[in-house]
Amino acid sequence: MKKLLPILAVVLVAFSSCHTSKKIVYFQDIVDAEAVATQALRTITYVPGDKLSLVVSSSRTPELATQFNLPIMSLQAGTSRQYSNQVSYYTVDERGDIDVPVIGKVHVEGLTRAQVAEKVQNAIRNGHINDAVVTATSYDQYVTVMGEVARPGRISINNEHITLLEALGQAGDLTIKGRRDSVLVMRQTGNETKSFYVDLRSKTLLNSPVYNLQQNDVVYVKPNRMRAGESTTNENSARSITTWLSISSVLISLAVLIFK
């Protein structure tokens, strides 16, 4: 019996290690050199509430181009009366429009930054300034990452797209106590909020409708049982006792089978 105890211990440790790795390892079902269907990177499009700036310029008639630009805002910095310039920006209204000087209402909802710049530029070149160049810049676009990650909070969208993996990476990745099998992504569409669950352990994530995040999405990483158990004083202790009882039961069962 004494000779069999080390063997039983090794088997038990190996089983426990394998079981734990299945809970935390990402993309467990991907094999080497496998081609996996993946959602193409999708450029962020404007929705009501987004902010953007438009700068119109012209090499031939720069003085005419200024009439299409919003006035620059000046803010007092501290008590020294030093002023710093800030670019004025448009806020997309509830109808998805912005009000551009001279041109008037321009519908931008559902358009990318490049498409908005092209649309405004074409409108100005049509009867105003033939060589007008329009540059569009987005402001204050972000997603929110909450729960069991290293650095929860808002993640700014600095490029024109952001994936779920990028957002989690910028949040410092999941903690060891975060559930990788059921990450929740909440997305508001109009007056509705849709919820999507993804499994980071599976390659199906790459083709999920929320692989490409949209501005204002909320990502929530649930705590695992151990983390949730910390909310009560004795739950983890009780679970630990239960675990040891289970281990003892397995060892006894193996011993009975071997010496039967």
User: What is the tens place of the pLDDT at every residue in 230-241?
Assistant: 766 555 555 556
* Of 245 and 207, the one with more pLDDT: 207
- Domain count within the chain: 2
Domain end point (choices 87, 109, 138): 138
What is the rounded distance in angstroms from the CA atom of residue 162 to the CA atom of residue 156?
9
**Residues 38, 146 share a domain:** yes
Residue 132's CB is within 10 A of a number of other CB atoms, namely: 22
Give the β-pairing of 90-91 and 183-189.
unpaired
Q: Cα–chain-centroid distance for residue 36?
A: 21
Same domain, 166 and 189: yes
Same domain, yes or no, for 147 and 259?
yes
Instruction: Give the tens place of pLDDT for each residue, 82-120.
Output: 545 567 899 999 999 999 999 999 999 999 999 999 999
Instruction: Say if residue 131 is in the same domain as residue 241.
Output: no
Cα separation, 88 vs 90, in Å, equals 7
Give the relative orientation of helices 235-259 and 4-24 as an angle to the nearest 10 degrees.
130
Rounded Cα–Cα distance for residues 118 and 134 (Å): 7
Q: Can you give the pTM of this predicted structure?
A: 0.77
pLDDT > 70 in the chain, percent = 76
pLDDT digits (tens, 9 = 90+) for 119-161: 999 999 999 999 999 999 999 999 999 999 999 999 999 989 9
Same domain as 254, residue 165: yes
Tokens coding 92: 């997309």
Same-domain pairing of 86 and 38: no
Task: Give the CATH number, domain containing residue 117.
Answer: 3.30.1950.10
Cα–chain center distance at 139: 17
Paired with 73 in beta bridges are 86
Last residue of a domain, one of 105, 138, 171: 138
Matching residue, tokens 């990788």: 180
**pLDDT of 177-211, one tens digit each?**
999 999 999 999 888 999 999 999 999 999 999 99
User: Position of tokens 């808002």?
Assistant: 154
Same domain, 129 and 145: no
Name the residue with higher pLDDT: 81 or 138: 138
User: What pLDDT, on the 0 to 100 scale, is given for residue 87?
Assistant: 73
Looking at the fold, whether 153 and 230 belong to one and the same domain comes out as: yes
Clarify whether residues 81 and 131 are in a common domain. Answer: yes
pLDDT digits (tens, 9 = 90+) for 31-60: 999 999 999 999 999 999 999 999 999 999
Domain that holds residue 59: 51-138
Q: In which band, very low, low, confident or very high, does the pLDDT at 247 lie, cut at 50, 70 and 90?
A: confident
